[in-house]
Structure 1
Amino acid sequence: MTVTFFTTVQAQITTAIRGTVVDQQDKAVVDASVKITHTASGTVSLASSNENGVFSARGMRVGGPYSVEISGSGFSAVRIDDLYLALDRTLNLPVTVQAETTLEEIVVTGTRRSVGYENKGLGTDFGIEALEEVASIDRDITDAAAQNPFAIVNVQSGGAKELTIAGANNRFNSLTVDGVALNDRFGLNANGYPTQRSPISYDAIESLSIQTAPFDVEYNGFTGGTINAVTKSGTNEFFGSVAYYSTDDSLIGDKNKDQDFNFTFEEETTVATLGGPIIQDKLFFFVAYDKYEEIAPLQNGPLGSGALNIQQDITLDDVAEVRGIVSDVWGFDIGGFNKAPAQDEKILANVDWNINDAHRAKFTYISTEGNTIQEQNGNNFLASGNILGASSAWYDRSEEIETFTGHLFSDWTPNFSTQLKIASTEQATGQNSLNGAEFPSFAVFLREVDGDKNYLVIGPDRFRHGNSLNQEFFQVKAIAEYVTGNHLIKFGFEREEVDVNNLFAQNSEGSYVFDSTDDLRNATASGLLYDNAVTNNENDLRAIWGYESNSFYIQDTWDIADDLTLDFGIRYDRYGSNGSIRENQNFVDNYGYSNANDIDGLDVVLPRASFEWN
């Protein structure tokens, strides 16, 4: 007998096997029984060959090892062991069987390449072993994605990694984790994530796929590239890991040419994972916990503060004088120059349920909370000079994400299978001033030295007077696949609902400038800038809105030969919006069209065609 292995690209969170069974005269073997077993969990998929000798199994776990058993009348049974399946790819398994002999079974050993690294066409795949070999100091999936030849990573001065795929802005990429999109839809983070660091623990990933320009009709919602991650699942054996990573200022230099550095920082990461059976061959769990803590150095400070960048003409005595005045006159604490720790905490939990040989379910919970302290010195009146912000002008930039996902994979007949996904995600983004936002921004002039004016800024900066963002996403996806002859027909429907509650009320508390500490003591400002709703209630500036999209698609995957596959498909997307926009007549008069237009009723038709020749 002979066995050959090929893979073709598919847009799924699972994997698949498509095979053909022929005899030694190259004639199709009809009604051969095929049993596919995920060895580690005992998960079984059953199939049979059709009139063309073709069999197909969909919705299978990523990785392996798998065992494929082929049996029937008139030929010796065949078992193929140690098969490993890659994410987003279908394993082609042509099998030539031998006439029945005295041998009970012929055993063939498969390949482990799908647990490693594969760069093929416009896609790059990482199995679990390849992911473990990626060098990543901060354990970010961007470092793995950068192995794609179309990807470039630009590290910003603040440490954020911008992943550019095929030359597109990183905000036009898409990250999906177990089929759920986790993207920065408002463009607030330089890394393109909804969080300032990787939204899931690196140790929780089973497989990773980076696609530059996929043609499958399931792909949508990006113009750069898509990064698709599938997390680990439990097996019949318990497994786990514990890791600790640490770095601090003792591991770096303390001098750059003639400039001495004397600052303190510390970073610690603790990771733990555990997976195993709840019921053997039936119910499994996997959990991952990842916590990062940092004590970051003070970037800017007055003389004597020990900051990396010292404002030589602003002293701690200046800060103390302003603190006393503001406390006496307004009862407000301007803060100081001590930076609080920041942290990031990730939790992931998976439950896999083998309902029976025809149905399998997976449930995923993701929780990510993280923050950083942002030093700030913004005031409307200050465009130049030496400007230093006390900690009351800083803000705590935080993100919280919570996701619940359920998948159901069903094989109704040997030729017909379905997948159903329901997911709910909540994202909360905070930009909270450290000493509260119910106070104006003050800029206090201290002195002029060699033509440079020196200011101390206190109170929440103008962009944090009213600033919050909450988003809710609900997703439903249903796919049906039918195998007939050498064709795989796929039908799909997707719906996404998005609700947004966004407050952005800059200067709603006012921004003031004082020309001296005496003017500050006398509450005599030389300038004031104030913006707010006409009601003077900043919450009336809150934008509460939403939209939804519905998608329908169909695709025919035609396996002309073992090494040639054609795809023909069409996707239809239609958009709707919630609520209404008040028309502004001044806008209409000035520009000749209404400001009340939105995306409601817009649609797009996306035909797709591709071929793959191995």
Structure 2
Amino acid sequence: MTVLALAATTSMAVAQETTSSVRGSVTAEGTPVSGATVTVTHLPSGTVSTMVTGESGAFSLSGLRPGGPYRVSVKADGYPEASYDDISLTVGQPYNLPVTVSQAAALDELAVVAVRPTQALTTSFNRDKIDGVASINRDIRDIARQDPFASFNPSTRGVSIAGTRNTTNKFSVDGVRFSDNFGLQGGGLPTNRGPVPLDAVEQLSVKVAPYDVTEGDFQGGSIAVVLRSGDNKLSGSAFYTYTDDSLQGDNSRGTVVNQTLTSKNWGAFLSGPIIKDKLFFAGSYEKLDQVTPALFGLAGAPSVVPGLTQASLDAISATASSVYGYDTLGLAQTLPETDEKYTIKIDYNLTDKHRLSYTYIHNSGETEALGGGSTSPTSPGIGFQSYATREPQI
């Protein structure tokens, strides 16, 4: 799967699923203040957006990066400057900021620490919260399942929101839909694992039945992911995990279990400036190579099929070859899986009111599925290697 997303934002147009906004009004003793200059600065990147209030004193600056921290400053003739710090924005949610200025001569500048507003039935996870979630599979669904209205099915890795089927949710990454429209994957995504590296996610929000007219084409919930953007600081990270069957036990309550298991997962993230305060990049990469034991098998397998021996299986394979010319390829004992994904994001501050964003997402993977297994004493079943299907997840 390869996805390109190109978005241009201005102060008059906003993509609800990829950007945020700051809005409010400037008043003095209950009277609107016109001609006040409102400046919103994204401190990590130096990105600045400004506007001047009209007769109503209202202001609205949109197309802003989610996250922060932001600083909002207000200057009006005859009043000291008002400054609001430590503001963090949530994707798709306007930040309401009423500003009151006064004639207090003793103050050269009025500094206020803003408090994040809340919105009902919406859960948002910023980068710090995402880092605090344990995800063995490094999957964005492990983040979404933290929502109080969400329930998780460990067998399919599907996330159900407000009791609806997981395939009716809407998944989007930087405004591009990633839902499984055909319902072929039990997890609700077109990929077996997460569509993007977990380190690439800046913010994830879960909305339960939102009433916003810009949201649609789903029944359960809307799960929106925004990828990380670069800023004026060069930064990066890398990880590597490894496990195999030598790192786990082989005896379960007196039963010897022999499982072939190997898992290697690695990746990296890098972001920074190309032109300070103007042009930024962010890139991520993740790769998984894994081999897990087949569920059904003979003695030592996770689920032992009764009444079958290696000799009986060899006899079946010999008959299939001599009579029908069919090679069973022997008993399927392991199931390999590969998953590779990477993202590239470029942000360009064209002017104070225009920003261009380019996103490239690539995901390719393959799993081996094996059907036809049963531990029933009356109808035991087991699958040969030739019965396995390789399912590309691209």
The normalised TM-score by structure 2 is 0.88
Distance 1:70 1:235 in 2: 24
Give, as a single letter, the amino acid of the residue that structure 2 aligns with 1:394.
A
Counterpart for residue 83 of structure 2: 79
Counterpart for residue 129 of structure 1: 128
On the 8 A contact 2:66/2:90 being kept in 1, the answer is yes
- Change in Cα spacing, 1:326 to 1:154, as seen in structure 2 (3 Å) is closer
1:307 aligns with 2:301: yes
Residue 41 (structure 1) shift: 1.1
1:224 aligns with 2:220: yes
1:296 aligns with 2:292: yes
Residue 192 of structure 2 is aligned with which of 165, 175, 196? 196
Counterpart for residue 31 of structure 1: 35
Cα deviation per residue 1:256-306 (whole Å; 9 max; x = unaligned)? 334321212122221210000111111111011111221101322356xx5
Residue 332 (structure 1) shift: 4.2
Counterpart for residue 20 of structure 1: 25
Distance 1:94 1:152 in 2: 37
Counting only pairs closer than 5 Å after superposition, residues 162-181 of structure 1 correspond to structure 2 as 162-181=158-177
Distance 1:22 1:277 in 2: 38
* SS across alignment from 1:189: coil
1:50 aligns with 2:54: yes
Counterpart for residue 41 of structure 1: 45
Counting only pairs closer than 5 Å after superposition, residues 134-533 of structure 1 correspond to structure 2 as 134-156=133-155, 160-302=156-298, 306-328=300-322, 331-337=325-331, 338-339=333-334, 341-377=336-372, 385-400=379-394
On the 8 A contact 1:275/1:287 being kept in 2, the answer is yes
* SS across alignment from 1:191: coil
Distance 2:266 2:140 in 1: 17
On the 8 A contact 1:11/1:216 being kept in 2, the answer is no
Distance 1:391 1:264 in 2: 16
- Change in Cα spacing, 1:312 to 1:154, as seen in structure 2 (3 Å) is closer
On the 8 A contact 1:207/1:229 being kept in 2, the answer is yes
* SS across alignment from 1:386: coil
Distance 1:285 1:367 in 2: 16
The structure with the greater share of residues assigned to strand is: 1
Distance 2:92 2:262 in 1: 39
On the 8 A contact 2:260/2:334 being kept in 1, the answer is no
On the 8 A contact 1:377/1:394 being kept in 2, the answer is no
Counterpart for residue 4 of structure 2: none
Give, as a single letter, the amino acid of the residue that structure 2 aligns with 1:356.
T
Higher-RCO chain (CA-CA 8 Å, sequence separation at least 6): 2
Give, as a single letter, the amino acid of the residue that structure 2 aligns with 1:155.
P
Counterpart for residue 509 of structure 1: none
Residue 105 (structure 1) shift: 3.5
Distance 2:157 2:343 in 1: 23
* SS across alignment from 1:171: helix
Unpaired runs of at least 5, structure 2: 1-14
The normalised TM-score by structure 1 is 0.58
Residue 212 (structure 1) shift: 0.6
The percentage of aligned residue pairs carrying the same residue is 38
Distance 1:276 1:387 in 2: 55
* SS across alignment from 1:188: coil
Counting only pairs closer than 5 Å after superposition, residues 562-577 of structure 1 correspond to structure 2 as none
Distance 2:94 2:379 in 1: 61
Cα deviation per residue 1:39-58 (whole Å; 9 max; x = unaligned)? 11121111111211111101
Give, as a single letter, the amino acid of the residue that structure 2 aligns with 1:188.
L
* SS across alignment from 1:131: helix
On the 8 A contact 1:74/1:100 being kept in 2, the answer is no
Unpaired runs of at least 5, structure 1: 1-9, 379-383, 401-614
Give, as a single letter, the amino acid of the residue that structure 2 aligns with 1:364.
T
Counting only pairs closer than 5 Å after superposition, residues 2-21 of structure 1 correspond to structure 2 as 11-21=16-26
Aligned residue pairs total 375
Tell which structure's C-alpha radius of gyration is larger. 1
Give, as a single letter, the amino acid of the residue that structure 1 aligns with 2:85.
D
On the 8 A contact 1:171/1:184 being kept in 2, the answer is yes
On the 8 A contact 2:335/2:367 being kept in 1, the answer is no
Distance 2:60 2:220 in 1: 32
Residue 394 (structure 1) shift: 0.6
1:59 aligns with 2:63: yes
Counterpart for residue 502 of structure 1: none
1:97 aligns with 2:92: no
Give, as a single letter, the amino acid of the residue that structure 2 aligns with 1:60.
L
Distance 1:20 1:237 in 2: 33
Distance 1:239 1:173 in 2: 34
